[in-house]
A and B are shown apart, each in its own frame.
Chain A
Amino acid sequence: MRQKCKLVLSDGTSFSGELIGAPLRASGELVFTTGMVGYSEAITDPSYFGQILCFTYPLIGNYGIPDLPRGLDLPIPRGFESAKARAAAVILAIDSSEVFHWNSFQPLDEWLTSQGVPAIVGLDTRHLVHLIRSTPNLLARIEPEHPEGYRDMGAVFQPKNATSFFDPGNHNVLPEVSTDKKMIFGKGKIRVGLVDCGVKWNIIRQFLEYDCEVQLLPWDTRLSDVDCDLWLLSNGPGDPTRTGDLVQQVEGLLTQDRPILGICLGHQILSLAAGANTRRMAYGHRSHNQPVYEVGTRRGYITSQNHSYVVEDASLPSEWDAWFRNVNDQTIEGIKHKTKPFRSVQFHPEASGGPRDTSWIFEQLLAEVKK
């Protein structure tokens, strides 16, 4: 028999389900993703740090969890986007307790337990989506019937009592997800300066495939000291305005001519450095089916997305153009500088999980360097 477990929302509503994973209390921003596959990638995606992730697809864990390596070594195994589970907690309707996939090492339940992540199953996840949609910035707590402590959220959140809610939007969470020390991968010709704001491993995997040397830099590295051929500002969690002096540092990069590509949080930081503003969206974009189009063309791309903040349209400085827009709500999905090789995208060209239709953006970037 599984332990009973409650989901308590910041608006006072609560739901009962059953606990899988670790018997720990957890708190965070309540978000949902509509991706139907890629749960291990999502749960280990550092961008979900501080968030309680609700899967709208009701059957999660069907193909199990591959063997998770302890650290970031080459070759980087597929199925994970960082070395541990990052989501504060997980919500789903039904999990598979038995798994049989050839690449599976253990079932979801077991893995979540080993990762110290609580999860609640048996909820009407579609109903939760309706609530999240209609209540901006909904926070939530997971409360197992017999909790054995709190989910470890690092230094940024040390709950004083069982009823406090954690809002990742109120903190600089980069220290929790970025690498502590500079790391170098690959021996390729092009040297990539990758600012780690909680990078997804697939960004590293992809650039290694393109014969690059990837320098993984802690988020607070003095960027002016780094020698590289191009800059990547990685994805990551939280509010882009709460990232220490990273925006100022990136402003410094804009004075030189080396290509820059920002991804997701990196896009927001580049936009802020360019002089634009960002705002928190009502409930963000989190799915594998976000349609974007390249401005000025009839070409669209299906993208993988995971963000709560968006660049405000009117604030975009005149030397920058909107590069991509969301087909559904017309929000900015990418910007590019009119003359310099600076650009960024709100979506994830590295996918994982999700569609890989925009990996050409990486190729285009590398072509800029080779020029």
Chain B
Amino acid sequence: MPMLKQLANLGRTPKVLILGSGGLSIGQAGEFDYSGTQAIKALIEEKIEVVVVNPNIATVQTNPTAGVKVYLYPVEVDWVEKVIAAERPDAIIAGFGGQTALNCLIKLDEQGILKKHKVINLGTPASVLRLTEDRDEFAQKMREISMPVPASFACEAYPSALTAANRIGYPVIVRAAFALGGLGSGFANNDEELKALVVPALASSPQVLVEKSLKGWKEVEYEVMRDSEGNTITICNMENFDPLGIHTGDSIVVCPSQSLSDDEYQILRNAAIKIVSSLGIVGECNVQYALDPHSLNFYIIEVNARLSRSSALASKASGYPIAYIAAKVVLGYDLLELKNPVTGITCAFFEPALDYITIKFPRWDLLKFQGVDRHLGSTMKSVGEVMAIGRSFPEALQKATRMVTEHPEGLSAQRFKGSDEQLREELNSPTDKRLFAVVEAFRRGWSLDHLRELSSIDLWFLSNLKTMMATEAEISKYGEGSEKLERVDMMILQTLGTVNAETWRRWKIQGFGDEQIAGLVLRGKGLGAGALCKASHGVRKLRLEHNVRPVVKKIDTTAGEYPSPSNYLYMTYGGTFSETLPEDNKVFSAVVLGGGSYRIGTSVEFDWCAVSCSRKLQESGWRSIIVNCNPETVSTDYNSSDRLYFEELSVERILDITDIERPVGIICSMGGQLPNRLAKPLSEAGLKLLGHRADSIDTAEDRARFSALLDKLEIGQPRWVAATGKDEIKRFIDDVGFPVLIRPSYVLSGAAMSVAYDDESLQFCLTTASDISPDHPVVISEFIVGAREIELDGVAKNGEILTAIVSEHIENAGVHSGDATLVVPAQRLYVETVRRVKRAGRAIAQGLNLNGPFNMQFLAKENEIKVIECNARAARSFPFVSKAVGLNLADVATDVMIGVKPNLSRFNEDELPYVGVKAAMFSFKRLGGADPVLGVEMASTGEVGCIGENVDQALLLAMEASGVFSPKKGVLVSSGSEKEKLRFLPAARTLVSLNIPLFGTPGTAKYLQEHGIPVTSLAWPEEDKFDVIKAVKEGLVDFVINIPKDTQRNELTRGSAVRQAAVKFGCSLLTNMEIVTAYVHALERCPDFLANHKVIPLPSFKA
């Protein structure tokens, strides 16, 4: 049976609604752009009209292409119903939009909306989804089919806890219910230990949960696909490097499993199939297990009846296009009639055989969140991930470490520097630094068994790491006793000249990079990054003399059993023969560098740029070759390019690739800052850059050079100094006055920019900035208060701007542009300001001789503009600006880079149909301890963008899509300074006129009352009355406006406690007065917004 009968028999083109997952947040990231995009492709092939509801404007799936209608609306029942009423789709698919989409579907089903509008739910029925969500119901169902689930009992007294523990069998884990931050939790191995835990826990908590302890058990997952005929396959399994206890999203994950025997593999596979079949799931499903490291015992931990982060990873790891096939399956195809598009000849009904190993490594950006608890546990904290492919575990792991740290020395670079005691502590209660601690322990000669005992990591993984560290020591030995010479290449020759081919090969198959090897032998010689990069070319030369080079291998899902035209490639030293590359008759080719791991600051928007660029290259008849290493992306989908290298974004690897591919040139300006940084060394290594010249990029990036250029062009900029000592800092501040912006130049993870408002905060900033010296200057710049921030996104050709769009921030300068709310076209700028911005933009483009995509940021105060920065690359705002105005800037830029004349004739900046607003999406809910407030450091994990007839509509939609819902019960206000209180008065009056009850902290309430505004005063927590925290917790208010005194994030204040409570208990939270004003204004101007708003689809691109 092909397509579902109900759809096939309609007698017209069927229409299907796909729900997206909204803005990227921790736990729900780019993987859903990948799965949604594949699903759309699968539907389009069936000539189905597709309607997408997803406010994530930066995704590929929200491109308004042929056959796809995009609604940038919150994935909330009310809005989805409005789209359903407007579009009248025949069916809905929710399995590709993460938990957000599933939750929405469950509600649409419960509220009878699907029934009312006669919309069929394709895929797993809502009742099954509810079952998998409900812990008790799910456990019951598992017991019915004799599947083991870990026992758990809620106990209110010690005797019942004792009974529970003895029924479960020791060891048990005790968790205090309703306790903050895991307080009162622990493991008990006997009655005595249980008592010691339970009694004090019950003193402060009404209930404890006694559960089977699975500490140290292996965590294993299976990806399962089942069709409507009941045919069920497992795509692959995955084993966590980290034992149970660390969220799988925060674990290093290997695929396929490494330490499981056939028995273990098959028992878990059988169980997965049994579970999925008994639940009647149609489509994709993920099953997670705990497996005893000492027997065949196992427990089911979780079932996700939808595409997930794991399934995106499994897709990329196995080469099996899970989302695409799952979409066909929910349409009613069975697996037997579907071809595997990767091989083109085998069937979709089969299980991939891998002949390589993949390792996923999470990317944390915890330094960006001050105060956050860095320990890893059951709550996911990572913001992105990379995947590495190799033919050995060390090769893949070293690749992964370099990919995720973006440091060419990888595992050898980020050394854990603590004492033995700290090391023990780190191994025992892991943080994001765990792997670096493990390898450090081996460096210090700790034994395998000791590490196993401390970390519970499987000995197979540990022994591999031990071998790698032995090799690291062996390499380092070559550097011993060598002298420091003038030329680094001579030093390499001196130290490594005698290494033979066999040794080189052994090092390389263990994954040691050229620069890593250079770093190890030249360690302690005081060489900077530039010198090491030069030295790495020396290493490369030496090994190439021995003909030690990597080979290209294909990922084809069949381990080579059948010939495959697959274009999915990786490089390895675990082989001696490169494969024949897929053929085409294209003459020109370009390598497009992707953005690597998602992280704070680089996210799905850069993937959109890279994908747009690759598609445009293909449309122009070029062979597009993508290099990227992020499994959550669309750019690493096998059909986003002609050839995909799932590889490191490093100088070494890109040279390996270009040695084979011989492209016309390389595109570094589409994947964000990581490839942009590679432009200079790649150009120096002799590669041709398409687009901007390396010197243009360097001038834009280099603070001093760029500043000099601005001076020459007579364009204003905030005053700054690269201070090398405290006196210099003092002189500068005496000159410009507080506040000042402080950026330490030497920061490991790029964090810790801050603003100093006075001497005290200056001292604080400088102590966190570590050492200040001529080698490590601190950049201090003037911080202009109350200025507008303006962005100019565009494309230039040979120094002439072809097109550039002005957008403005709602927040005043001081909020990182990635966290700010962006409006296009700019609404409140003087004509003169816009003129000056454009004029300065033209001058800079000319001065830098820009030849490709760019983004410039300006400050404006009373028509006076100052330039903050210029990015000679595509920017975060590109997809938003492109979609809001209807001009694909990435396409225009690609044309320019390959020398094609872009067609801009259909686009007219003066005739924009809608206003677009982009809002940041935060993930503070998962980051316990972090203060949810906006500042100069970016903290958002994603963004949403909506369009409206006017800025008010677009703003309300964007705010709701980012989790700010209009107040209904009441608004709690706490605005730090006198000035902010004053600025809040008009908004307060508006809220009162809208009949929204106001509550205030004592000071704010008093101030408002004095100005005749009715407000209920709430006490601070320590005052022991009905306090603000309680009001938030118990739902007296559903909206919190809390304006911090200044944008210092690192002070633990009462305000911070209110903000954290708002996040924790699901209140909407605004912390910036400009956005409060704009938002309240919009509320007033759009009465009964939901009822009155007519949904509008995103218009298609004009070029």
Whether chains A and B associate is yes
A residues sitting closer than 8 Å to B (CB atoms) are 32, 34-38, 40-41, 56-59, 62-63, 78-79, 93-94, 96, 98-103, 124-127, 129-130, 133, 287-291, 293, 298-300, 302, 327-328, 351-357
Kindly state the separation between the CA atoms of A355 and B349 in the bound complex, as whole angstroms.
14
- The reply to whether A102 and B293 contact each other, CB–CB distance below 8 Å, is yes
Q: Please provide the chain B residues from 220 to 265 with a CB less than 8 Å away from any CB of chain A in the complex.
A: 229-231, 233, 256-263, 265
A302 to chain B minimum Cβ distance, whole angstroms, is 5
Kindly state the separation between the CA atoms of A100 and B463 in the bound complex, as whole angstroms.
9
B471 to chain A minimum Cβ distance, whole angstroms, is 14
Closest residue of chain A to B273 (Cβ to Cβ) is A357
A95 to chain B minimum Cβ distance, whole angstroms, is 11
- The reply to whether A129 and B458 contact each other, CB–CB distance below 8 Å, is no
| Contacts A100-B458, A327-B336, A328-B350 given; does A34 touch B231 at CB 8 Å | no
Q: Inside 8 A of A289's CB, which chain B residues have their CB?
A: 350-353
Closest residue of chain A to B392 (Cβ to Cβ) is A94
Closest residue of chain A to B576 (Cβ to Cβ) is A124
Write 27 A-B pairs (CB below 8 A) sorted by A numbering: A36-B265, A36-B354, A56-B559, A57-B355, A62-B259, A63-B259, A79-B261, A93-B575, A98-B463, A101-B259, A101-B460, A124-B577, A125-B355, A126-B579, A130-B577, A287-B353, A291-B336, A293-B336, A298-B231, A300-B335, A300-B336, A302-B349, A328-B347, A351-B266, A353-B266, A354-B266, A355-B266
Kindly state the separation between the CA atoms of A133 and B352 in the bound complex, as whole angstroms.
18
B880 to chain A minimum Cβ distance, whole angstroms, is 43
Kindly state the separation between the CA atoms of A117 and B270 in the bound complex, as whole angstroms.
33
- The reply to whether A327 and B347 contact each other, CB–CB distance below 8 Å, is yes
| Contacts A36-B256, A38-B262 given; does A94 touch B351 at CB 8 Å | no
- The reply to whether B262 and A41 contact each other, CB–CB distance below 8 Å, is yes
- The reply to whether B258 and A59 contact each other, CB–CB distance below 8 Å, is yes
Q: Inside 8 A of A328's CB, which chain B residues have their CB?
A: 345-347, 350, 562
Kindly state the separation between the CA atoms of A62 and B273 in the bound complex, as whole angstroms.
25
Q: Inside 8 A of A79's CB, which chain B residues have their CB?
A: 261-263
- The reply to whether B353 and A288 contact each other, CB–CB distance below 8 Å, is yes
- The reply to whether B460 and A99 contact each other, CB–CB distance below 8 Å, is yes
Kindly state the separation between the CA atoms of A77 and B983 in the bound complex, as whole angstroms.
79
Is the CB of B423 closer than 8 A to any CB of chain A?
no
Closest residue of chain A to B351 (Cβ to Cβ) is A289
Residue in contact with A291 in the complex, picked from B261, B350, B562, CB distance below 8 Å? B350
Residue in contact with A34 in the complex, picked from B266, B346, B353, B460, CB distance below 8 Å? B353
Closest residue of chain A to B265 (Cβ to Cβ) is A37
- The reply to whether B559 and A129 contact each other, CB–CB distance below 8 Å, is yes
Residue in contact with B575 in the complex, picked from A57, A78, A127, CB distance below 8 Å? A127
- The reply to whether B231 and A126 contact each other, CB–CB distance below 8 Å, is no
The binding surface of chain B is classed by DSSP as loop
| Most interface-central of B230, B262, B269, B577 (chain A CB within 10 A) | B262
- The reply to whether B463 and A129 contact each other, CB–CB distance below 8 Å, is no
- The reply to whether B393 and A35 contact each other, CB–CB distance below 8 Å, is no
Q: Inside 8 A of B346's CB, which chain A residues have their CB?
A: 328
- The reply to whether B351 and A63 contact each other, CB–CB distance below 8 Å, is no
Closest residue of chain A to B578 (Cβ to Cβ) is A127
- The reply to whether A126 and B575 contact each other, CB–CB distance below 8 Å, is yes
- The reply to whether A93 and B574 contact each other, CB–CB distance below 8 Å, is yes
Is the CB of B409 closer than 8 A to any CB of chain A?
no
- The reply to whether A62 and B575 contact each other, CB–CB distance below 8 Å, is no
A58 to chain B minimum Cβ distance, whole angstroms, is 5
- The reply to whether B273 and A94 contact each other, CB–CB distance below 8 Å, is no
Is the CB of B862 closer than 8 A to any CB of chain A?
no
Q: Please provide the chain B residues from 390 to 409 with a CB less than 8 Å away from any CB of chain A in the complex.
A: 391-393
Is the CB of B584 closer than 8 A to any CB of chain A?
no
- The reply to whether A34 and B229 contact each other, CB–CB distance below 8 Å, is no
| Contacts A98-B463, A102-B295, A103-B261 given; does A57 touch B231 at CB 8 Å | no
Residue interface bits B332-353, CB-to-A below 8 A is 1, else 0? 0011100000000111011111
- The reply to whether B261 and A327 contact each other, CB–CB distance below 8 Å, is no
| Contacts A101-B259, A299-B229 given; does A94 touch B353 at CB 8 Å | no
Q: Inside 8 A of A35's CB, which chain B residues have their CB?
A: 353
Kindly state the separation between the CA atoms of A357 and B266 in the bound complex, as whole angstroms.
10
B183 to chain A minimum Cβ distance, whole angstroms, is 35
- The reply to whether B391 and A93 contact each other, CB–CB distance below 8 Å, is yes
Kindly state the separation between the CA atoms of A236 and B772 in the bound complex, as whole angstroms.
75
Closest residue of chain B to A66 (Cβ to Cβ) is B261
- The reply to whether B391 and A56 contact each other, CB–CB distance below 8 Å, is no
- The reply to whether B559 and A37 contact each other, CB–CB distance below 8 Å, is no
- The reply to whether A63 and B560 contact each other, CB–CB distance below 8 Å, is no
9 A-B pairs with least C-beta separation? A38-B262, A100-B459, A34-B353, A353-B262, A129-B560, A34-B559, A124-B575, A56-B559, A127-B577
- The reply to whether B350 and A302 contact each other, CB–CB distance below 8 Å, is yes
Is the CB of B294 closer than 8 A to any CB of chain A?
yes
Q: Inside 8 A of A355's CB, which chain B residues have their CB?
A: 266, 269-270, 351
Closest residue of chain A to B509 (Cβ to Cβ) is A94
A61 to chain B minimum Cβ distance, whole angstroms, is 10
- The reply to whether A96 and B460 contact each other, CB–CB distance below 8 Å, is yes
A43 to chain B minimum Cβ distance, whole angstroms, is 12
Kindly state the separation between the CA atoms of A353 and B353 in the bound complex, as whole angstroms.
14
Kindly state the separation between the CA atoms of A41 and B265 in the bound complex, as whole angstroms.
13
Kindly state the separation between the CA atoms of A59 and B263 in the bound complex, as whole angstroms.
17
Kindly state the separation between the CA atoms of A98 and B467 in the bound complex, as whole angstroms.
11
A68 to chain B minimum Cβ distance, whole angstroms, is 14
Kindly state the separation between the CA atoms of A110 and B266 in the bound complex, as whole angstroms.
26
A162 to chain B minimum Cβ distance, whole angstroms, is 25
Is the CB of B436 closer than 8 A to any CB of chain A?
no
Is the CB of B737 closer than 8 A to any CB of chain A?
no
Is the CB of B558 closer than 8 A to any CB of chain A?
yes
| Contacts A126-B559, A127-B577, A299-B229 given; does A58 touch B351 at CB 8 Å | no
Kindly state the separation between the CA atoms of A293 and B335 in the bound complex, as whole angstroms.
11
- The reply to whether B353 and A36 contact each other, CB–CB distance below 8 Å, is yes
- 8 A-B pairs besides A36-B354, A100-B459 with CB distance below 8 A are A56-B561, A94-B392, A99-B460, A287-B559, A290-B350, A300-B336, A328-B346, A354-B266
Is the CB of B356 closer than 8 A to any CB of chain A?
yes
Q: Inside 8 A of B574's CB, which chain A residues have their CB?
A: 58, 93-94, 124
Closest residue of chain A to B357 (Cβ to Cβ) is A59
Is the CB of B182 closer than 8 A to any CB of chain A?
no
Kindly state the separation between the CA atoms of A49 and B558 in the bound complex, as whole angstroms.
24
Closest residue of chain A to B229 (Cβ to Cβ) is A298
- The reply to whether A133 and B561 contact each other, CB–CB distance below 8 Å, is yes
Q: Inside 8 A of A124's CB, which chain B residues have their CB?
A: 551, 574-577
Residue in contact with B262 in the complex, picked from A129, A291, A300, A354, CB distance below 8 Å? A354
Q: Inside 8 A of A327's CB, which chain B residues have their CB?
A: 336, 347, 349-350
B346 to chain A minimum Cβ distance, whole angstroms, is 5
Kindly state the separation between the CA atoms of A355 and B357 in the bound complex, as whole angstroms.
20
Is the CB of B553 closer than 8 A to any CB of chain A?
yes
Is the CB of B1087 closer than 8 A to any CB of chain A?
no
| Contacts A124-B575, A130-B560, A298-B334 given; does A37 touch B353 at CB 8 Å | no
- The reply to whether A302 and B351 contact each other, CB–CB distance below 8 Å, is yes
- The reply to whether A102 and B563 contact each other, CB–CB distance below 8 Å, is no
A139 to chain B minimum Cβ distance, whole angstroms, is 20
Residue in contact with A101 in the complex, picked from B1, B261, B551, CB distance below 8 Å? B261
Q: Inside 8 A of B579's CB, which chain A residues have their CB?
A: 126, 130
Q: Please provide the chain B residues from 793 to 849 with a CB less than 8 Å away from any CB of chain A in the complex.
A: none
- The reply to whether B349 and A100 contact each other, CB–CB distance below 8 Å, is no
Kindly state the separation between the CA atoms of A93 and B349 in the bound complex, as whole angstroms.
28
Residue interface bits B130-156, CB-to-A below 8 A is 1, else 0? 000000000000000000000000000
Residue in contact with B294 in the complex, picked from A37, A102, A130, A298, CB distance below 8 Å? A102
- The reply to whether B259 and A56 contact each other, CB–CB distance below 8 Å, is no
Closest residue of chain A to B350 (Cβ to Cβ) is A291
Q: Inside 8 A of B553's CB, which chain A residues have their CB?
A: 126
Closest residue of chain B to A15 (Cβ to Cβ) is B576
Q: Inside 8 A of A130's CB, which chain B residues have their CB?
A: 560, 577, 579
Kindly state the separation between the CA atoms of A101 and B357 in the bound complex, as whole angstroms.
19
Q: Inside 8 A of A103's CB, which chain B residues have their CB?
A: 261
- The reply to whether A127 and B576 contact each other, CB–CB distance below 8 Å, is yes
Closest residue of chain A to B449 (Cβ to Cβ) is A100
- The reply to whether B336 and A63 contact each other, CB–CB distance below 8 Å, is no
Closest residue of chain A to B337 (Cβ to Cβ) is A298
